[in-house]
Amino acid sequence: MTLELSSCTYTYRRRRTPVLQDLSYCLPAGLTVLLGPNGAGKSTLLKLAASVTKPQRGSVTLNGTASGTRSYREKVAWMPQDITPMPTLSAREYVAYVGWLKGMKRSEAWNSAKEALDRVGLSDKADEKSSRLSGGQLRRVGVASALVHDAQVLLLDEPTAGMDPHQRRVFRDILNELAKDVQVLLSTHDVADLAEEADHVTVLHKGRIIQTGSTNEFLLHTPLHTAPGRAAEGAYTALLTRHGADY
């Protein structure tokens, strides 16, 4: 699968400066972490890739298929920052309902919901009301909902926000396993989120990509004498400083 943004520019109506300008990006295989400070344009990039919004200029395609088409949306799934529980629905009913909204037959959505929950390690919570799930479990329901229609590209916007360290660890392990079969792009402003475990790292600053490549290539920017365990943070800070980030 080749998801590609070509020369994309996007500006919100009340802003004169584009959030993204003439941005080109090709999502690699595996798990990619999209880093950047607040306001860098991460959510906008994901929304363009998810076909939630369209660029004013440029194009977004998946294997040559334009965004906005049914075939595109069948293969690309997006999980926004906030996952809202539905108090009357169990986890499986929640995921099946999302599948039905995406055009699946009810029986197909019901069966696929079980498989999707298995993939995110929530088979034992399938009958639990979504309102009773923890924040980390609800995020995993969100991932299952994104995968229920057999998407091949998974876009996650700040998925670990609000999770405790254990929940983050479980979520990371799940994403690493999913990335063997699905291309995953995860945005975050927290460099601790998978930055050293991901296959690739892309850094966005003021609507421009200032670094993209393998994790090893990203870590080459780590300054000498950086404290052990803080290599990713050091590389990220060095890149932003080099490009004039205002702290």
pLDDT tens column, 123-175: 999 999 999 998 889 989 999 998 898 889 999 998 887 778 888 888 888 88
Give the phi and the psi of residue 236 in degrees, each rounded to 5. Answer: -65, -45
Burial of 131: CB neighbours in 10 Å, binned 0-12, 13-18, 19+: middle
What is the distance between the alpha carbons of residues 37 and 227, in angstroms, rounded to a whole number?
22
According to DSSP, residue 69 is labeled S
Burial group, residue 102, by CB count within 10 angstroms (0-12, 13-18, 19+): middle
Average pLDDT over residues 15-44: 92
CA distance 239 to 10: 24
Contact 55, 4 (CB under 8 A): no
pLDDT at 74 over 90: no
Domains of the chain and any CATH numbers: 3-242 (3.40.50.300)
Model confidence pLDDT, tens digit, residues 89-133: 999 999 999 999 888 999 999 999 999 999 899 999 999 999 999
